[in-house]
Amino acid sequence: MESRKTMRKWFWVWEFEKEEDWLNEMAANGWVLESVGLCTYHFIRCEPGEYSVRLEMHPYDEAYVQFMQDTGAEYVGRMMMWVYFRKKAVDGKFDLFSDIDSRIGHLDKIGRILAILGGMNLLIGLFNSFSPARIGWVNLLCATLLMYALGRIHGKKEALEKERLLHE
């Protein structure tokens, strides 16, 4: 029986919850995340449902990784600014965000990065539109995609803010 598997899959930044759901579905089927790379996921065999997997956009921070390990979570790896953790299901519920406000804070963090990258691509695209090479359209296309992503993240944030109002 195969004990390792590699899968390649693409998720947009606004689909991080979908990515996390997929990783947990894999774990429920007996394949837990072992390491991660650009659109590449490496899994090892486990008991079905043995692990929960979580991911978060978070800059690399040794103290944060140690804190998570102190809670019983295992650091799996990182891909760009995303950090991945897994934890044995027998250790209880595993969530990186304790309440709606921390989820909103996470979306704010993602939104700030998207806004900065989108703004930079917009400026570079406009500047490059006047260059002889006329390659500004690439940056303008990137800026458009990043602003679309920002809109999707903002929509998620608004939904959480409405939910928070319902619970107050």
Query: Given this model, what pLDDT does residue 1 score?
Result: 64
Beta carbons within 8 Å of 128's beta carbon, 6+ residues apart: 134, 135, 136, 138, 139
pLDDT digits over 6-20, tens only?
999 999 999 999 999
Share of the chain above pLDDT 70, in %: 99
pLDDT band at residue 129 under the 50/70/90 scheme = confident
Six-digit token pair at 8?
Answer: 């390649």
pLDDT digits over 34-92, tens only?
999 999 999 999 999 999 999 999 988 999 999 999 999 999 999 999 999 999 999 98
For the chain, the structural domain boundaries read 4-91, 100-167
The pTM assigned to this predicted structure is: 0.89
Six-digit token pair at 151?
Answer: 């809109």
CA–CA separation, 168 vs 28, rounded Å? 35
- With a cut of 80, say whether residue 133 has pLDDT above it: no
